[in-house]
Structure 1
């Protein structure tokens, strides 16, 4: 098991290193010159001053030199300064937005896991019945609906038309902090973010449980007179959860991408909204730091998922 964990950790570090290269190259390939973000286009600037600024920022060096300079600074915790925020250090700025995004992600994932597993069990047990058909239609709609569409429709339906939930923000302006107020603002965006993830978990849970229910040991338990409820709960669900564990970890990346749209729709003060504002203002330092942190989080979640799956199923670590 320790050898398997060490192998997965090394592989995760290599993936993180490859991610730094990808982020750096992709941003350098975007249209325009990075130096444009540092100057005011309405104010004329001499070529000598422009060249001096480019040299001070290291933009006159070859790309490999620029990459290793940035990587060395990043490893020491220096991700540069935010142009949009008046020269504020990037790392504290990005870290200050982690908590709202983590809260939104954990809430959405918890909803998706509970609803997806329960709905998958009901759908499998009630195969080809009205409950199964209704849940299957919901799952197909949930998987095929992008986050920005569900976010806009949910905002319009539940905030504008029905006025059940606030239309944006994390807290009510002008009021002291309250857990109930935070929950009131969290319910709608977290639920909308969980739709695609929960629908996918439901489909996998349904298929996995149907496969397990057709196994010989399940038929043997039924033949012995074990009640159907205990056949499903005690004998089938536990084994059917194995592939779902891997799925939950793999859907975290998609949920993070969906969180960017949900945060922009609901003006949720997390990393997604910060990244959108940084892209619109071409704040390269913030974009690189936030993207790297998100990518590292996805790699870490997948690593923990693989370890958990290997702990449950010894065949994985012995393969």
Structure 2
């Protein structure tokens, strides 16, 4: 098991390094000059001053030299400074946005797991019944709806038309902090973020449970007179959950991608909103740090998912 964990962790570190190279190159290949982000367009600057600034920032060096200089600084915890925010250190800025995003994402994931697994069980047990058909239609709509579309439609329906939930923010301005106020602002964006993941979990759970229910040991349990409820709950659901565990881990990546859109729609002060503002203002240091932290989170969650799956099924770690 330890050898399996070490192998997966090594793969994760390699992927993180490859991600840093890819993002660094892509940022340098974007249209425009990185030096433009450091210059006030309303103030004239001479060629000598421009060259001096480029030298001071290391932008006059070859691209590999620039990358390894950045990597050495990043390994020591120095991710540079935010241009958009007047020289604020990047790492504390990014870390300050982790909490709201984690709260939004894991609330959405908890909703998607509970609703998706429950709906998948109901759909499988009542195969080809009206409830199965209805849940299947809803799941197909959920899987095919991108986060920005569900976010905009949900905002318009529940905040603008019905006025059931606030249209944005994490807390009500001018009011003292309250857990109920936070929950009131959290329910709608978290629910909308959970739709795609919940629909996908429901489809996998339904298919996996239908396959398990056709196995010989399930038919044997029924032949022995075991009540159908216990056949499903005690014998079938546990084994049907095995492939769903892996899927739940992979939904973290989808939740992160969806959170970027949901946070921008609802002005939720998390990593997604920070990254969008950084991209629009060409704040390269913030983009690099936020992207790497996001990638590291996805890799870590997938590693934990692989470990959990290997613990449940020893054949995985012995393969």
Fold shared, TM-score > 0.5 on shorter chain: yes
State the TM-score, normalized to the length of structure 1: 0.99
Deviations 1:280-299 (A, max 9, x none): 11101101100000000000
Counterpart position of 1:16: 16
Question: Which ranges of 4 or more aligned residues in structure 1 deviate by more than 2 Å?
Answer: none
Alignment of 1:191-202 (within 5 A): 191-202=191-202
Q: Report the count of equivalent residues.
A: 319
C-alpha distance in structure 2 between counterparts of 1:222 and 1:163, whole Å: 50
Counterpart position of 1:276: 276
Alignment of 1:38-77 (within 5 A): 38-77=38-77
Structure 1 residue 44: Cα displacement = 1.4
Structure 1 residue 42: Cα displacement = 2.0
- Specify every segment of 5 or more residues in structure 2 that has no aligned partner in the other structure, as ranges: none
Deviations 1:204-243 (A, max 9, x none): 0000000000000000000111000000000000000000
C-alpha distance in structure 2 between counterparts of 1:108 and 1:52, whole Å: 49
Counterpart position of 2:253: 253
Counterpart position of 2:81: 81
SS of 2:268's partner is: coil
- Specify every segment of 5 or more residues in structure 1 that has no aligned partner in the other structure, as ranges: none
Q: Is the aligned partner of 1:244 residue 2:244?
A: yes
RMSD: 0.5
Counterpart position of 1:155: 155
Structure 1 residue 97: Cα displacement = 0.3
Structure 1 residue 23: Cα displacement = 1.0
Counterpart position of 1:177: 177
State the TM-score, normalized to the length of structure 2: 0.99
Structure 1 residue 254: Cα displacement = 1.0
Deviations 1:122-157 (A, max 9, x none): 000010101000100010000000000000000000
C-alpha distance in structure 2 between counterparts of 1:239 and 1:29, whole Å: 48
SS of 1:128's partner is: coil
Counterpart position of 2:7: 7
Q: Is the aligned partner of 1:110 residue 2:110?
A: yes
C-alpha distance in structure 2 between counterparts of 1:82 and 1:67, whole Å: 18
Alignment of 1:86-105 (within 5 A): 86-105=86-105
